[in-house]
Amino acid sequence: MALEPSEQTVTVMGWVRSFRNNQFIALNDGSTNNNLQVVVALGLLDDATVRRITTGASLKVIGELVPSLGKGQKVELKATTLEVLGDSDAEKYPLQPKKHSLEFLREIAHLRFRTNTFGSVFRLRHSLAFAVHQFFNEKGFIYLHTPIITSSDAEGAGEMFRVTTLPFDATPRNEDNSINFKEDFFGKSTNLTVSGQLEGELGAMAFSEIYTFGPTFRAENSNTARHLAEFWMIEPEMAFHDIEDNMNLAEEFIQYLIRYAMAHNMEDLEFLDARLAEEEKQKPQNERAEMGLIEKLKFVVENQFERITYTEAIQILLDSPHYKKKKFKYDVSWGIDMQSEHERYLVEKHFKKPVIVTGYPAAIKAFYMRLNDGCEPGKETVAAMDILAPGIGEIVGGSQREERLEKLEARMTAMHIPLEEMSWYLDTRRFGSVPHAGFGLGFERMVQFVTGMTNIRDVIAFARTPKNCEF
């Protein structure tokens, strides 16, 4: 809705944000948070039409753009005709022109797009999604659509949503009382995917570099501000890449996305920056962020990420005043799967910038990660890398994949992953195996980072969380 004064007649359509003095309408079409002031001359409309111009109503206005004498806008529209396209009952419309809490807006998620905050968030989400495709396209990657329904568990997590057409009240059983999946739609047990990675590796073994970008599902009962049951993930897989190449690409990717948002959505970022600053003022001094939103984003694109090993990370935590004063909820020792509080300490308190951690214990990582050579028994590590971001913790998880067939088979056997069922995956190691690597970026966490929103439910249109599947 970027408009300049002109002699010509223009037609605008949008929704009423406010109507003052029976004369001034703030109209918005969703393309920006800036409203267009429509000036209705007294006597232009009959009383019945004036009464229909309420917050939330949709209008079609034809008129002349003229320089505005009022504050806050360069132009305004002098209406010559006005048509109410859709009425909005002012008594019942939940979004009155006042400040609403994010909790309240989650309850009316079907209407929250019409607020300034969510207008900015979802325009930024769009830009970031577009930038994802542009980044990989410029590098010659192939976009691969991997299946949403799958019979494999890529993470070995076991927390998946089952896909079935079997009747709940009369599930067919085998003689040992196990479910007879041969009667099911696909003839076997199937789930919603937790990752497109394994299929992505198949593509990388033909095209060298691919990426996936689609919905993934986790049936974890995690009711937190950073978990969703349905979320979007970007997963590049690259043949002929090692862990170092993987880290370099992930860092370049994150910085590219942020630069794109800053180049194309600065107005929305400025609005969210001001919103966050207001929010920070409500917190005690010691809990306030040291940087504003835009300042943080600039810092991330202008500085290299810190790179440390898992072993170094654990030592930093053990030596920290935080640990010595028993301020961590979860204990710290070599071998733990670092919790969000540990990750955020490293990023926000110790290094004060994004951190890439490598060389995680094999015992806490997935079967496909490449075992590092020369490890002492009991202290085996893998060529894994996690990128930790301020305010969120882990934003990227990736690794160099285990390309050696015998080592991969041994690891799968030790982790009770059936080799026969995964034979299709092992073929990538049987026929022309190469060193290769990849990572996954949780898209919502990236959107959170760029928008400064603290709850992941506020960066996806309709959040799917435990006991919540509305709209």
Domain presence at residue 449:
yes
Q: Which residues have a Cβ under 8 Å from the Cβ of 91 and sit 6 or more positions away?
A: none
- 160: exposed, middle or buried (C-beta count within 10 Å: 0-12, 13-18, 19+)? buried
> CA 129, CA 257: separation in Å to the nearest integer?
9
Domain presence at residue 106:
no
Last residue in a domain, options 47, 64, 98:
98
Q: What is the CATH number of the domain that holds 47?
A: 2.40.50.140
- Angle at CA 204, nearest 5°, toward 203 and 208? 130
Q: What is the pLDDT of residue 347?
A: 93
Last residue in a domain, options 72, 98, 124:
98
Number of domains in the chain: 2
Domain presence at residue 174:
no
Is there a single domain that holds both residue 279 and residue 428?
yes
Domain presence at residue 104:
no
Domain of residue 399 covers 114-159+194-458
Q: What is the CATH number of the domain that holds 324?
A: 3.30.930.10
Is there a single domain that holds both residue 88 and residue 130?
no
Instruction: Using CA atoms of 297, 303, 305, 308 in order, give the dihedral in degrees to the nearest 10.
Output: -140
Is there a single domain that holds both residue 129 and residue 47?
no
Is there a single domain that holds both residue 206 and residue 84?
no
Q: What is the pLDDT along the chain (471 residues), one digit of tens a residue?
A: 556 666 689 999 999 999 999 999 999 999 999 999 999 999 999 999 999 999 999 999 999 999 988 777 889 999 999 999 999 998 999 998 788 999 999 999 999 999 999 999 999 999 999 999 999 999 999 999 999 999 876 555 558 999 999 999 989 999 999 999 999 999 999 999 999 999 999 999 999 999 999 999 999 888 888 789 999 999 999 999 999 999 999 999 999 999 999 999 999 999 999 999 998 888 888 778 888 999 999 999 999 999 999 999 999 999 999 999 999 999 999 999 999 899 999 999 999 999 999 999 999 999 999 999 988 888 899 999 999 988 888 999 999 999 999 999 999 999 988 899 899 999 999 999 999 999 999 999 999 999 999 999 999 999 999 999 998
> CA 439, CA 401: separation in Å to the nearest integer?
10
Is there a single domain that holds both residue 235 and residue 126?
yes
* Cβ count within 10 A of residue 114: 19
Is there a single domain that holds both residue 119 and residue 82?
no
